[in-house]
Chain A
Amino acid sequence: MPAGVFFEKHEKVLAFVKWPIHKAALLVGLPLAFLWPLVFPNDYLLRVAIWVIVWSLAAAGFNLLFGLTGQISLAQGAFMALGAFTSIQLAAVGLHPLLAIPAAGVLVSGVGLVFGLPSLRLKELYLLISTLAAQFFFDWFLRTEQMAWFTGGAYAKYAPPLNLGPLDLSYGYPLYVTVAVIATIHFLALANLSRSYIGRALKAVRDRDIAAEIIGVDVFKYKLLAFVVSTYMAAVAGGLWAFALRSVSVESFTFLTSLEVLAAVLIGGVGRVVWGSLLGSLFVVGVPEAIKNALALMGLRGIDIALRDVVFGALILTFLLLEPLGLVELLRKVKERIRLFPFRYFG
């Protein structure tokens, strides 16, 4: 942050939209995000866009936990799987699909609560490893024969089509709008959470948990809250993915999903809950797809997975070494450069 940029009013600090350029970006970006498929209809691009949005929801949950609260969890993929299967099961029981997704989120966040309990005593590495254990445990658990009724076993589990009364939302543009609206609601809620006293408490826990406890922040409560919210987001993402794809199997969400979510947050911007997660997911989903298509155009087949891994690794390393705060920070630097334009510094 260059010297000399201060907010003089507390309301300004709490504002959702802080700078004129953000206002302009929102005015242009939001309609663009919702309307581009009408101008440029393309089923493949719509599918990728839904993919990006779903992954960004999971990443936003992880970002709240990792970026704001400083706790780490590598079990996001497992919670996505749980959310997907739970929401399908709830829909099969008779709940409306659009209600089944958040309901699954609430149910699964109970599981997240249990796995957040060790965070009271465990820190950093130990917490990372115990959440890794949770990931592998659920990976095994969902594959067992006893859970085959829940996950479809070796086959995929099919979801009923999304609908709202007479409106069929299960394909193409209507599906995209549904996913985007649900995501927007969740992003607004997260943005609100992170600017409120809860967000400040979470940041205090991240920066120094003992000091936070001394000034009266209930550390355990806020750690658990962060775990619950991140699990809820992952489960909602999993549920949305299940209903968007109409079929999921145990192979849909693995340990690699957890790593992808981690990569999305690291590339997008740690601690920038909404925009960091969105941009990061755009990268994490978009770059491998672009590579795949470019290779297919060149007539090369079979090396896209390898190249995806290489590019992933290289991206993570580049961002961590050169721009640890991610794409959002990069954009902010660009914005500052524009604001100060002919000069590099101000004052």
Chain B
Amino acid sequence: MIDLVIDGVLRGGIYATAAVGYVILYRSIKVINLAYGAMALLAAYLYWMLTPQLHPLLGFLAILPVVALLAVVADKAVVRPMLGEPVIQIIAATIGLGYLIKGALLLVLQLGYALPGYQQVPYETPLLPRGFVELGALRLDLNFLGAFLASIVAFLLLWVFYKKTSLGIAMRAMSNDRPSAVAFGVRPTEAITTSWILAGLLAAISGVLYAGIFGGPSGSVEYIGVKALPVIILGGLDSVGGALVGGVIVGLAEVLGKLLLDPYLGGGFGEVFPLLVMVAVLLVRPYGLFGTERIERV
């Protein structure tokens, strides 16, 4: 039981990392990016293609700029021209973008497969070593633990970025009160682009970690994008700290749902249980547990 709880918490760390990517973007442009799963998928596959030649860490560092560049392109080419239009339209555009990324990736993979001299699938070299670590009576999966620690590091870096650097403070100001922030000399373009880059990096990190945990890249890496949705809803769309709490709740709900409810309700209930928890929370608190309430005026 106790190791299951710990397992849930560790899972939650990865979901939280993915969720923060959504949150950062939401804070700056009030839109959630549904191409996020596709970006994580792309990162996982790029990592998988690079690692036979490169050291895992080097390979990981090499994909970060690629995904960040993709995020910047998505910003400048797709979302920026649409800012000001109804939110739903922009989200639909990110769905289109997700299709495009996924299709292009599949195309490359299948063309590569058809080319002569194509090497058979190289084995996945996970970023973190496989195995277990004994901690007293507890037996922890190194991959889960490492992924959780990496998420914590990412959170700390983000915290430092938001609290200490001037760009981070400017971005917080932007999300609080855009007109006054602009009046004080914050450049909106800079803040928005930075948040896209950060979101892209977080997508890459969570994609690679998720693929490492669940046995290599596959189409299911894309579902990190869906799994992070209950996290941001529970935590509130604009709360970075809430994402961590939400992540842990979702991880626990998933593991406990699998353990306690699967036997009665059929396999796979653990996967949808967080979504149901989320809907229940939304019915009581429509802006999530830590989200800012929006006051509507005519």
B268 near A144 with CB under 8 A, answer yes
Decide if B229 touches A129 in the complex (CB within 8 Å): yes
Give per-residue flags for A103-139: 1 if the beta carbon is below 8 A from chain B beta carbons, else 0: 0000000000000001001111110111011101100
Contact of A72 among B32, B88, B98, B267 (CB under 8 A): B88
The reply to whether B286 and A126 form a contact with Cβ atoms under 8 Å apart is: yes
9-residue interface stretch from A53-61, A194-202, A243-251, A301-309:
A301-309
A216–B26 CA distance with the chains assembled, in angstroms: 33
Q: When the two chains form their complex, are residues B286 and A137 in contact, meaning their CB atoms are under 8 A apart?
A: no
Nearest-neighbor residue (CB-CB) of A131 within chain B: B279
Across-interface contacts of A143 in B (CB, < 8 A): 266, 268
A214 smallest CB distance to B (angstroms)? 7
Chain B residue contacts of A80, Cβ below 8 A? none
With A and B bound together, what is the CA distance between A124 and B78 in angstroms?
Answer: 20
> Chain B interface residue count: which class?
35 or more
Interface centre among B101, B266, B267 (most CB of A within 10 A): B266
Q: Which of B85, B99, B279, B296 contacts A130 (CB 8 A)?
A: B279
Q: How far is the CB of B217 from chain A (nearest CB, A)?
A: 16
B77 to chain A, nearest CB (A): 9
Judging by beta carbons under 8 Å apart, are B96 and A312 in contact?
Answer: yes
**Cα distance, A312 to B78, chains bound together (Å):** 15
Instruction: Please judge, given known A-B contacts A266-B92, A306-B103, whether A133 and B78 are in contact too, CB under 8 Å.
Output: no
Q: A122 to B291: give the CA distance in the assembly, Å.
A: 13
Interface pair A313/B278, CB less than 8 Å apart: no
Q: Does A177 contact B (CB under 8 A)?
A: no
Option from B87, B91, B103, B296 in Cβ contact (under 8 Å) with A313? B103
Complex alpha-carbon distance, A137 and B92, angstroms: 22
Closest CB in chain B relative to A123 CB, distance in Å: 8
Q: Chain B: which residue is nearest A143 at the CB level? A: B268
A171 to B100, CA, bound (A): 36
**Interface-lining segment among B43-51, B105-113, B191-199:** B105-113
Kindly state the separation between the CA atoms of A68 and B216 in the bound complex, as whole angstroms.
43
The reply to whether the CB of B27 lies closer than 8 angstroms to some CB of chain A is no
What 0/1 pattern do residues 295 to 330 of A give for CB contact below 8 A with B?
000000011011111111111110011001000000
In the bound complex, residues from chain B placing their C-beta under 8 Å from that of A126 are 233, 237, 282, 286-287
Q: Are A136 and B98 in contact (CB under 8 A)?
A: no
CB interface residues, A 41-67, toward B, < 8 Å: 66
Q: Assess whether A320 is in contact with B93, with CB atoms less than 8 Å apart.
A: yes
Evaluate whether A316 and B107 lie within 8 angstroms (CB atoms) in the complex, with A122-B282, A130-B279, A130-B282 already known: no
Contact A317 B100 (CB under 8 A): yes
Number of interface residues of A (CB under 8 A): 52
Check B103 against A262 for contact (C-beta < 8 Å): no
The CA of A141 and the CA of B271, in the complex, are separated in Å by: 11
Q: A136-B272, A303-B107 are in contact. Are A320 and B89 (CB under 8 A)?
A: yes
- Indicate whether A309 sits within 8 Å of B99 (C-beta atoms), given known contacts A144-B266, A208-B298: yes
Check if A136 sits within 8 Å of B226, measured CB to CB: yes
Once the chains bind, are B103 and A310 in contact (CB under 8 Å)? yes
- The digit string for B232-251, where 1 denotes a CB below 8 A from any CB of A, is 01000100000000000000
**B152–chain A nearest beta-carbon distance, Å:** 26
In the complex, the answer to whether B92 meets A302 with C-beta atoms within 8 Å is no
- The reply to whether A314 and B282 contact each other, CB–CB distance below 8 Å, is no
Q: Of residues 242 to 264 in A, which have CB atoms within 8 Å of B's CB atoms? A: 259, 262-263
- The reply to whether A306 and B107 contact each other, CB–CB distance below 8 Å, is yes
Q: Does A193 contact B (CB under 8 A)?
A: no
Closest approach, in angstroms, between the C-beta of B115 and any C-beta of chain A?
12
- Can you spell out 8 A-B residue pairs with CB atoms less than 8 angstroms apart? A121-B283, A132-B275, A140-B269, A263-B96, A302-B113, A310-B99, A312-B99, A321-B82
The 7 residue pairs across chains A and B that have the minimum distance between CB atoms = A309-B103, A313-B100, A316-B96, A144-B266, A313-B99, A310-B103, A306-B106
**Which residues of chain A have a CB within 8 Å of any CB of chain B?**
66, 70, 72, 118, 121-126, 128-130, 132-134, 136-137, 140-141, 143-147, 208, 210-211, 214, 259, 262-263, 266, 270, 302-303, 305-317, 320-321, 324
Spell out B's residues near A (CB within 8 Å).
26, 32, 78, 81-82, 85, 87-89, 91-93, 95-104, 106-107, 109-111, 113-114, 226, 229-230, 233, 237, 265-269, 271-272, 275-276, 278-279, 282-283, 286-287, 296-298
Q: Assuming A129-B229, A262-B92, what are 10 further A-B pairs, CB within 8 angstroms? A: A121-B283, A125-B32, A132-B226, A133-B230, A143-B268, A144-B267, A146-B266, A263-B96, A308-B103, A309-B99
